[in-house]
Structure 1
Amino acid sequence: MMLVWLLIAWVFASAAVAMLPMRRQYVPGVILLLAAPVLIVMVGIQFGWVFALLGLAAFVSMFRNPLRYIAARLRGEHPEIPE
C-alpha cells in the first residue's frame, strides 16, 4: 500500500513541477526523472510486468522532451533549451 501512496505523490509532484516556469523545472524534474525508473521497477516486482509496462509508457509519454534531449546529447548533438 505504501508503494501506491509513493506513486500518487510522484504524480502530484510531477504535475506541480510542470506548472513551474521552465528555468525552475530543472532540479525537481531531474529528481523525478531519476525516481521514476525505481518506482516502475518496484511496480513490476509488486504488481507484475503488465503494470510496469503501462507505467513505463506513461513515463515516456510525460518525459518525452527531456528524454529526446538526453538522447540527442548522447549522440553528440547540441539541441537548444527553451527559455
Structure 2
Amino acid sequence: MNLGLAVAFLWLIVANIIAMLPTRDHHWTAAYVLIAVGIPVLGWVTWESGPVWGLVLLVMGASVLRWPLIFVFRWARRKVAGE
C-alpha cells in the first residue's frame, strides 16, 4: 500500500471517530475541516493510485460526509428551479 492510500484510510478512521463524538454545532465545523483536508488527499490518491481508487475513496468519503452533500444537492436543485 502506498502512502496516499494510508493517509486516505487514516482520514476515514479519523472522520468516523469524529462522527461518534458529540458536538454543539452538529459536526459542521468538523465537516468543513474534513472536506478541506480530504479533497487534496483524494487528489493525491487519484494521482498516485489511479482513478479507480480515487472513485472508491470518493464514495467512501461521501458516505461519511453525506449530510453536507445532501444540503449541497438541495441547494443546487433550488437554484436550478429558480426559487
Greater mean deviation of Cα atoms: 6-15 or 53-62: 6-15
Q: Map 1:64-83; keep pairs closer than 5 Å.
A: 64-76=66-78
Question: What is the one-letter code of the residue matched to 2:11?
Answer: W
Aligned to 1:80: none
TM-score by length of structure 2 reads 0.72
Gaps of 5+ in 2: none
Gaps of 5+ in 1: 78-83
Question: What's the CA shift string for 1:17-70, capped at 9, x where partnerless?
Answer: 101224252212211022222111111110111111111111222222211112
Let me know the Cα RMSD of the aligned residues: 2.2
User: C-alpha distance in 1, partners of 2:21/2:59?
Assistant: 24
Question: What is the one-letter code of the residue matched to 1:39?
Answer: V
Aligned to 2:43: 41
Helix, strand or coil for the counterpart of 2:24? helix
User: C-alpha distance in 1, partners of 2:3/2:56?
Assistant: 19
Q: Map 1:3-82; keep pairs closer than 5 Å.
A: 3-24=4-25, 25-76=27-78
Could you say which structure has the greater relative contact order, defined with CA pairs below 8 angstroms and 6 or more residues apart? 2
User: C-alpha distance in 1, partners of 2:23/2:55?
Assistant: 29
User: C-alpha distance in 1, partners of 2:72/2:36?
Assistant: 13
Greater mean deviation of Cα atoms: 7-16 or 52-61: 7-16
Asked if structure 2 preserves the Cα contact closer than 8 Å seen for 1:17 and 1:29, the reply is no
